[in-house]
Amino acid sequence: MISKIILILIFVLSNSAVFSQIDLLRSKIENILSGKRAKVGVAISSLETKDTLSINGNEQFVMQSVFKFHLALAVLSHVENCKLSLKQNVFVPKSDLQTDTWSPLRDKFPDGNVNLALEEILKYTVSHSDNNGCDILFKLIGGTKVVNDFIHSIGINDVSISATEEQMHKDMDAQFTNWSTSKAACMLLNKFTSNYAQNETHKYLWQLMTETSTGPKRLKGLLPEGTVVAHKTGTSDSNDGGMTFAINDIGVVVLPSGKVYSIAVFVSNTYESYETNEAIIANISKATYDYFISKTDK
């Protein structure tokens, strides 16, 4: 009888320690957000340890270019189903290369009218967040509804993809039709991570996301040099009142042991500076990394 009581006490105390650790991380994140003139959504999840945490996790946040991750998954599902090939050429007319938008692809091929391999357009779209590449891919697979329906079909429902980059550029309000909860973003990252080791197309997407050139001061900003982070950023303009609609980063972080966790941070409706918004993400990312290092990566 005494031994059973001791075992029960050990179980309760050990679980209390787990709860206190995750509560400490929550407290650190809340301190990072304290006093910030911004709405922030955070979700953190590990498939291996089952640890989860969210702040405003069920609220909708403007995605901006984060949705290029969702688009890439939909495009690659077409590749897996043999509807497309990564090696196939896609003709890119000059008319598809908008001049007043972020586009390293257009900068390299300003005259358009060129055949590019699908894998190259994906690289521009994901690794370099190319807006023209994004809309070329939407056109290739049939539009935003195809992507939206695909994401819903794999069980991620708290997300909406309705507007292309061109539509968002022409109408500022269109960006609000592309939204996700931070929990949904984390769930999608988990699905991606659980499959990529056995899935050749997901391995390719993993490579593209680890080569992301945008947002180096966000999720990766304060992590140890050389830490592998497969991530996708999103950034909006500001309105006339100085409010920025979205500074985002979602991704998968690889710990020194090889274990991974997913993290999504959406900074929305913020009156803070660009540097402060990025620092919010970087500090949350570092606190999360330290938590997993201390708890699971010994």
161 CB-near residues (< 8 Å, 6+ apart) = 63, 67, 70, 71, 144, 147, 148, 151, 178
Here the tokens at position 267 are: 């900074």
| Cα within 13 Å of Cα(283), Cβ side | 17
- Nearest in space to 65 (alpha carbons), one of 217, 210, 191, 169: 169
* 193 neighbors 229 (Cβ within 8 angstroms): no
Catalytic annotation, pick one of 54, 65, 268, 285:
65
**In the annotation, is 65 catalytic?**
yes
**In the annotation, is 120 catalytic?**
no
CA dist list (Å): 123 to 55, 119, 275, 280? 32, 6, 27, 27
Catalytic annotation, pick one of 165, 166, 272, 278:
165
275 CB-near residues (< 8 Å, 6+ apart) = none
Residues designated catalytic: 65, 165
